[in-house]
Structure 1
Amino acid sequence: MKIMTCPMNGPRNISEFQWLGPAHDAAEATDENLITRLFHTPNPMGVLREWWRHTPSSTVFIAERDLITDEILRTYLKGSDADKPQTNS
């Protein structure tokens, strides 16, 4: 059984979640690149930030998932301290 950690409700079975698509930076959300973002999305290998929803509680959050191993690296709410870029110090 695959487990995902909801930032509000803790570890849950993956069947309780709905994938909502890749998370984009606000700077990418322009009319000029809307068609490209919607219809020509690249399929990169590596870590992708994605929107997910815990359906029983309707909690929407971001998950970082490694597309090569399908491992969920971390989950966090948008605007939380975890949403800030990580620095290597």
Structure 2
Amino acid sequence: MLERKQLKGRTQITFVLPQDIPEGPVSVVGDFNHWNPAAHPMEPRGDGARAASVTLPAHSTHSFRYLAAGDYWFDEEDADGHDGTNSRVHA
């Protein structure tokens, strides 16, 4: 799931996954963090989900995927689009 918060000239995107699906650590990787798995690890939040947030320029579009333990890559079902390999988000 993607959550958005509009800021002045920017958009905060929060990537949200259930606590244990998939099991183990998960990171959000994309063109906004140079596909670096260490840049945005998902952290637990009070509602039982886990999340990671990035702030992007307003009106921009970015590619991303999730990377879980065991080199398991997967897409966001509720993404704004897909470009074949990656999920897409519009800030």
TM-score bin, normalised by smaller chain:
under 0.3
Greater share of residues in strand: 2
Calculate the TM-score normalised by the size of structure 2.
0.25
- The structure with higher relative contact order (CA 8 Å, sep 6+) is 2
Greater share of residues in helix: 1
Structure with greater Cα Rg = 1
